[in-house]
Structures are given as C-alpha cells and as structure tokens.
C-alpha cells in the first residue's frame, strides 16, 4: 500500500531538517552574545541608558537603510507608537489584515482606534492592494484629504501592511492605495528583518515601520522592537515618547506630555548587537533550508512550499506549506501526524475578526484570508 500524504509530509520534513525532531523555531547564540551581555553586566548599565542601545540603533539603521531607528521594549509597543506618530487618533479606523498576529490589532486598540479588517492575496500572503482599492471605492469617500468611511462616518486614517512570516507583501501596490486614499502607511515588519523588495528593506517604505525581536523572531533581544523611519521629526518624537517624554536636562524632571516607558534596556540591546552580527548567517541557513524543503516536497502533489514573489526576497523566518483547496479538510490530520512524529508544525493564526474583542470590528469580505487560514501549515524553520 502507498504511503498516506501525512506520512509523506513527515518524511519530507525529516529529509529537509536532517534531524529526528524539530521545533518551529529556536534562537541560536553562536556569536558574541555571551561576550556582549557580560560586557553589559560588567558596565552596570543594564537598563534604559547605555552604549549597546545606541549601537544597536545605529547598526539597525545601517542594516535596514532606514535613516533612523529607535529601539523599544517590544514590537507591539513599537507599533503603538508608530500608529500614534502616523496620526492615528481615538475613534479612527485603521486598515489591517485579518490574517496577522493579534498584536497588530491590539496596537490599534491601544490608540483607542478601531481595526478595520481587509483581505489578503494568495501570491504574497499579505494585503491585496487591488481588492482593497475596490473596497475603499465602494465604502469610502475622500473629503478634505481624509478618507471617510461612509457607513460609520469615521476617518480611515492608516493602512498597515504586514509581511507574513517574512514574505514581503505587495508594498508598492499598497503604497499607491495609501496615496490615492490619503492614508498614512505604517508597516508591521515585525516578522521581516532581512526581507527586501527590489533591494529595499521591508519596514522602510511607509512613513513608519516596526520590527520585533521577540524570542521567536529571526533574531532576538529576549523582548524588543524597533521603530524605523526616514523622517527626522518622527524619529525625534518616537525617541521622546518612548522615553517618558522627558526634556533632556542634567537634573530637572520636566515631561512635556504623557510619554511611555518603552525604551529598550541596554542588556537586551547587548544581545541584539551580537544577534545582528549573526543575521547574514541565519538568513543563509534559512535559504538553504528552503531549498531542501522545495526539493523534499516537489513530488508530493496537492501542496507546495511557499516562495516569495518576483523582486521580493523573504527572510523565510517561518517556512510555509500551502495546501491546495482540496486538501484543506485534511489540515488538522497533517498537523496531528507531524507533531506526533516530533516535528513541530502549526496552523496560521485564527483570523482576528473571529476573536472575541474584534468580532464587531468593521471588515471587508475576507474570502482569501479565510481560505489561506484553512490551508497554511508552518513547518520547522530553525537552523
């Protein structure tokens, strides 16, 4: 009797990862991590001031090509501040994918704004600029250079593309939608450090972008994030807001607005500096793993390994198995079999519009996100 598809998937993963069990992702500290963290401890500057934070910011700006980088406590906090800086005000609507991690929506909520869910395209797993354009044409109108939702009367202020698992969204198409509808563009590049579109780093296309350094991301600072921008005023404001809005002074405590204690601690940045040095090796290993996956899966019909589209260079943070529509009903069986065999696999997030806090949020038709939501399996992606 021939092997079941589940068995074939387990075999293909085993061949690609070359081990008998594998996690979805695990950080590796093969570089100067111990040295820099010790140096940080020895300096006693472990908290919100210190050389490693400044250096991490400089290194991140150099790597991404962003003019400015402001390091913060995590990606969610980075996104909250990015949204505020992009002009998001209480009761505004913010267009975000339904197919994303919950942090994207939560950051909008922290600004007392309302997530408005829009659909993805299968080609990129990111927001679909064509579908969003058609949708906005039908539900909104531009008045005084503001996009007004005719159903709710609220301002649709901002568009937030997210680069799913590191695979770049159609950022150029989305920029053009943002421009035509007078929306500010904030990139949730939490997952896409090391991903580029036509040679430009993700997270640097919008007015503001953010990256996460959580433990499960491509590189980690334990917890951490960064705000990227090319705008000097926004960069200054980002630094000010994330450091309790304190006016620099030798002894006086003057805070000129309600700020946030979101500065990345120096000890996290020490880890980050060492991790960033390892990034080229990590990206190389992820690309080699991708090649092994493509070859291991090429003779299994009904599914394929997702690769990023033309002109895009994904970091392949999480390798993605995409089932054909006919196999969606077997997804859970595949998840059971692979996990039982010792290979950690996961479905994609529940669509956010299905979660209790967001079930009444405005939304366009989400057919593609729904379909993708039933067909994506993330497979072991550690190196």
The contact set with ligand PLP (CB under 6 A) reads: 74-76, 79, 100-101, 103-104, 162, 188, 190-191, 212, 214, 225
Least distance between ligand PLP and beta carbon 150 (Å) = 29
Least distance between ligand PLP and beta carbon 299 (Å) = 32
The nearer residue to ligand PLP, 25 or 237, going by C-beta atoms, is: 25
The nearer residue to ligand PLP, 14 or 167, going by C-beta atoms, is: 167
Closest alpha carbon to 96 in 80, 115, 109: 115
Write the DSSP symbol of residue 86: T
Least distance between ligand PLP and beta carbon 15 (Å) = 28
The nearer residue to ligand PLP, 10 or 270, going by C-beta atoms, is: 270
Longest dimension (CA), the chain: 79
Helix axes 51-64, 33-43, angle to 10 degrees: 140
Q: Using CA of residue 198, residue 61, residue 227, residue 282, what is the dihedral sign?
A: positive
Least distance between ligand PLP and beta carbon 225 (Å) = 5
Q: How far apart are CA 42 and CA 53, in angstroms?
A: 16
The nearer residue to ligand PLP, 14 or 115, going by C-beta atoms, is: 115
Question: For residues 205 and 225, is the Cβ–Cβ distance under 8 A?
Answer: no
Least distance between ligand PLP and beta carbon 289 (Å) = 20
The nearer residue to ligand PLP, 76 or 140, going by C-beta atoms, is: 76
Q: How far apart are CA 101 and CA 103, in angstroms?
A: 5
Question: For residues 310 and 124, is the Cβ–Cβ distance under 8 A?
Answer: no
Residue of this chain nearest to ligand PLP (CB atom): 75
Beta 196-197 vs 200-201: how paired, if at all?
antiparallel
Closest alpha carbon to 64 in 191, 199, 168, 164: 199
Least distance between ligand PLP and beta carbon 102 (Å) = 8
The nearer residue to ligand PLP, 5 or 132, going by C-beta atoms, is: 132
The nearer residue to ligand PLP, 214 or 353, going by C-beta atoms, is: 214
Least distance between ligand PLP and beta carbon 360 (Å) = 22
Beta bridge partners of 185: 159
Give the side-chain half-sphere CA count within 13 A for 167. 23
The nearer residue to ligand PLP, 114 or 190, going by C-beta atoms, is: 190
Beta 184-188 vs 208-212: how paired, if at all?
parallel
Least distance between ligand PLP and beta carbon 350 (Å) = 14
φ, ψ for residue 102, nearest 5 deg: -60, -25
């Amino acid at each position: 009797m021939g092997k079941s598809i589940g068995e074939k998937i387990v075999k293909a993963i085993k061949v690609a990862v070359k081990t008998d069990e594998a996690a979805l992702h695990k950080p590796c500290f093969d570089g100067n991590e111990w040295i820099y963290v010790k140096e940080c401890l020895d300096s006693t500057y472990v908290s919100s001031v210190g050389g490693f934070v400044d250096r991490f910011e400089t290194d991140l700006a150099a790597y991404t090509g962003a003019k400015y980088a402001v390091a913060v406590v995590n990606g969610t906090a980075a996104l909250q501040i990015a949204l505020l800086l992009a002009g998001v005000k209480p009761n505004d609507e913010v267009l975000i994918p339904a197919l994303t991690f919950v942090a994207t929506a939560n950051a909008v909520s922290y600004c007392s704004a309302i997530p408005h869910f829009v659909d993805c395209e299968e080609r990129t797993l990111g927001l679909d600029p064509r579908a969003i354009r058609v949708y906005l044409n039908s539900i909104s109108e531009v008045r005084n250079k503001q996009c007004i939702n005719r159903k709710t009367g609220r301002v649709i202020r901002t568009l937030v593309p997210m680069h799913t698992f590191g695979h770049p969204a159609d950022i150029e198409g989305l920029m053009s939608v943002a421009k035509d509808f007078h929306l500010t563009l904030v990139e949730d590049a939490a997952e896409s450090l090391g991903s580029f579109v036509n040679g430009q780093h993700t997270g640097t296309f919008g007015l503001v972008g953010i990256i996460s350094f959580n433990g499960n991301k491509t590189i980690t600072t334990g917890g951490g994030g960064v705000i990227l921008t090319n705008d000097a005023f926004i960069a200054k404001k980002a630094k000010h807001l994330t450091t309790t809005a304190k006016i620099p002074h030798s002894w006086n405590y003057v805070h000129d607005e309600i700020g946030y204690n979101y500065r990345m601690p120096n000890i996290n940045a020490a880890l980050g500096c060492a991790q960033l040095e390892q990034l080229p090796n990590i990206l190389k290993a992820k690309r080699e793993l991708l090649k092994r996956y493509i070859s291991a899966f090429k003779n299994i019909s009904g599914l394929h390994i997702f690769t990023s589209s033309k002109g895009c260079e994904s970091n392949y943070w999480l390798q993605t198995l995409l089932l054909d529509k006919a196999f969606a009903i077997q997804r859970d069986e595949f998840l059971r079999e692979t996990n039982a065999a010792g290979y950690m696999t996961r479905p994609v997030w529940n669509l956010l519009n299905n979660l209790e806090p967001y079930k009444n949020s405005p939304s366009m038709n989400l057919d593609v996100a729904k379909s993708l939501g039933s067909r994506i399996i993330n497979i072991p992606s550690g190196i």
